[in-house]
């Protein structure tokens, strides 16, 4: 299988560590950003196959960052999955409105997340 690149935008070091483990297990290439600004820059520079976007980031919220990416014609095809620390129906709605393809809540199941990422990058569908 062709190696896929996943951009993880996450400001919490513990969560980033967990994401590193997920990416290693799933054999994905991982790009890391700890704030939205860096994340958007890395998206422009590398055009990853998928973005996992934390909703709460230090410089702007992840959904605003998702909108900026979706407004860029060169980047709008990149699927974005929002990652949230709290599960509220309205957040899921907001994530989908912002152009995200899916929405997952922390703490997530590692195997399930790998499966979701695989579905997303290899078949372009995600059931979330």
The nearest distance, CB 77 to Mn ion, in angstroms, is: 25
Integer angstrom CA distances of residue 39 from 50, 53, 90, 125, 127: 12, 9, 24, 23, 24
| 11 counts as binding Mn ion under rule CB under 5 A | yes
Give me the residue whose beta carbon is nearest to Mn ion.
56
Comparison of 11 and 37: residue with beta carbon closer to Mn ion: 11
Element (H, E) at 6: strand 5-9
Q: Is 53 in the site for Mn ion (CB under 5 A)?
A: no
By CB under 5 A, residue 33 contacts Mn ion: no
Q: What is the Cα–Cα distance from 60 to 17, expressed in whole angstroms?
A: 22
Per the DSSP assignment, residues forming a β-bridge with 16 are: none
- Residue closer to Mn ion, measured from CB, 48 or 62: 62
* Binds Mn ion by CB under 5 A, chosen from 44, 46, 56, 125: 56
Binding residue (CB under 5 A) for Mn ion from 7, 31, 33, 54: 54
CA 121 to CA 6: how far, in whole Å?
9
Residue 32 found at the interface with Mn ion (CB under 5 A): no
């Amino acid at each position: 299988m062709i190696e896929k690149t996943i951009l993880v935008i996450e400001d919490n070091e513990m969560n980033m560590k967990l994401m590193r483990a997920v990416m290693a297990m799933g054999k994905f290439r991982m790009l890391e950003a700890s704030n939205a600004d860096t994340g958007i820059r890395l998206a422009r520079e590398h055009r990853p196959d998928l973005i996992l976007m934390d909703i709460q980031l230090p410089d702007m919220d992840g959904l605003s960052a998702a909108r900026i990416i979706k407004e860029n014609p060169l980047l709008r095809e990149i699927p974005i999955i929002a990652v949230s620390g709290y599960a509220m129906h309205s957040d899921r709605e907001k994530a989908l409105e912002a152009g995200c393809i899916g929405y997952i809540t922390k703490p997530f199941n590692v195997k399930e997340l790998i499966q979701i990422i695989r579905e997303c990058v290899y078949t372009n569908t995600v059931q979330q």
